[in-house]
Structure 1
C-alpha cells in the first residue's frame, strides 16, 4: 500500500503525550465526592474530550452545588498542584515529538485548559516543537466536535486533509475525523476507546514508538 504524505501532525495531549487521565479521574472523582455528588460508571469516558466549561457543567449535573466557574477553577488548581510533582509523560512521548518535528509541522489540540497545557509543555520542555497549540477553551465546542482540530489547522495554515491527528479517546478520534484529518489511534490501556470510534482510525498503533516518519511518508 502506498503511503499518504502528510504536511502536519496534530497531537492530542492527555492520554497521548501525558498519562494524565488517571490524574484527572482521581482529582475529579475526589472533588465530586467531597462536594456531595455521585460519580457514575461512565463519567470518566464522558468527560474525556470535553472542554473545561463543559466538564465543569457536567460535574455540576452530578450533584456538585457550585457554579461551573468555581468547579473549573478548583479542579484546575488541583491538577496544576499535582503536576508540580512532575509531568507523567507517556513512554516514547518525547522521542515521538522530536522525531516527527524533524519532518513535519506540529500542532496540538487539547481539551485541557490553556493553563495546564502551558504547565505541561514548559515542564516537559516540549513547547519548542509545536508551531501552535489549541485549547478547547479557545473554540466554541469541545471534542467530539471538530472545532479544536479545525482551529489548529487554521493556525498552521494547512488544510485538515493534509494533517494527521494522534488521539487516544473516543471523543478525540471522532473530533479529528470530523475535522477531515486522518486519525492515528494510540489507545490507552486503561481507558480504551469505543469500538465504533476506533473503527474510524486510519491506523491503530500499540504505542508511540510505532509512530514514525516512515508511517506518514
Structure 2
C-alpha cells in the first residue's frame, strides 16, 4: 500500500538552522558568563519552545525566566531568518516533488512564527496541506504528538505515512508515531547508528524520490 502522506521536519531537514539555534543559545549562555554543559546541544534538539527554554534556565543556568529565554532566542532566530534562511540541498524541490503525489505537511519544534516565516521564504505555502508546531501539542519531540497531529490534520493514518527527519529526537518522535522514517543525517551531531538502523537513510534530499517513498511501509521503520 503506498503512503497516505509525507510529513517533513523543518530545522536541520529543510532549513540549515540547527547550528544557528546552537550558536544563539550558546551566545545567551556566554553573555551570562556560563559554560555550555556537555550534551546540552543534543538534548535540546527537537524540544518544544517551552521545553528548551526551561532547559536553558534549569540546566544551563540562565539567570532569567524561561519565557524571557524563549523570547530572546526566537527574536535572534527571527533576525537570522529575515536576513535569509539557509536551506539544505534539494529541500524545496523535495517538498514539491512529494506534493505531486501525496498530501504534505511540516511538523516542527520551531515556534509558529518561525515556521510561518520559513514557509513563506521557501515559497511552499501553496503545496503544504498542514503545518504543526510542537508548541501546539502537549509534548515536544521525542514524543510523537507533533507527528500524530500532522497526520490527523491530513486525515491520514500515521502507520501509513512517511516522516522525513534528521535529528535523534525527531527520528524517535516519528518512530513513536508508528511512521516509516527517512533519515537525512546531519554532519552536525549525527544520530547513533542503532537509531539510524531503524530508518531508511539517505545522504541528501535529492534521493527522496517517488520510487523510494512508494516502497516504504510501516514495517520499514
TM-score (norm 2): 0.94
Deviation at 1:32, TM superposition (A): 1.3
Structure 2 equivalent of residue 127 of structure 1: 125
Deviation at 1:28, TM superposition (A): 0.6
Deviation at 1:158, TM superposition (A): 0.4
- 1:52 paired with 2:18, answer no
Deviation at 1:35, TM superposition (A): 2.1
Structure 2 equivalent of residue 213 of structure 1: 210
Moved more, 145-154 or 40-49: 40-49
**d(CA) in 1 for partners of 2:2 and 2:85?**
32
Deviation at 1:200, TM superposition (A): 1.6
Structure 2 equivalent of residue 63 of structure 1: 61
Aligned CA-pair RMSD: 1.0
- The answer on whether the counterparts of 1:38 and 1:63 sit within 8 Å (CA) in structure 2 is no
What SS class does the counterpart of residue 129 from structure 1 fall into? coil
Written as runs of structure 1 = structure 2, the 5 A alignment for 1:1-217 is 5-61=2-58, 62-201=60-199, 203-217=200-214
Task: Count residues in correspondence.
Answer: 213
**d(CA) in 1 for partners of 2:116 and 2:44?**
21
Deviation at 1:205, TM superposition (A): 0.4
**d(CA) in 1 for partners of 2:125 and 2:41?**
28
What SS class does the counterpart of residue 46 from structure 1 fall into? helix
Structure 1 equivalent of residue 219 of structure 2: none
What SS class does the counterpart of residue 127 from structure 1 fall into? coil
- The answer on whether the counterparts of 1:36 and 1:63 sit within 8 Å (CA) in structure 2 is no
**d(CA) in 2 for partners of 1:28 and 1:169?**
17
Give the gaps of 5 or more residues in structure 1.
none
Deviation at 1:83, TM superposition (A): 1.0
Deviation at 1:48, TM superposition (A): 0.4
TM-score (norm 1): 0.96
Deviation at 1:73, TM superposition (A): 0.7
What SS class does the counterpart of residue 128 from structure 1 fall into? coil
What SS class does the counterpart of residue 166 from structure 1 fall into? strand
> Which aligned runs of 4 or more in structure 1 are off by greater than 3 angstroms?
none
**d(CA) in 2 for partners of 1:93 and 1:118?**
16
Deviation at 1:63, TM superposition (A): 1.1
**d(CA) in 2 for partners of 1:193 and 1:135?**
22
Give the gaps of 5 or more residues in structure 2.
215-221
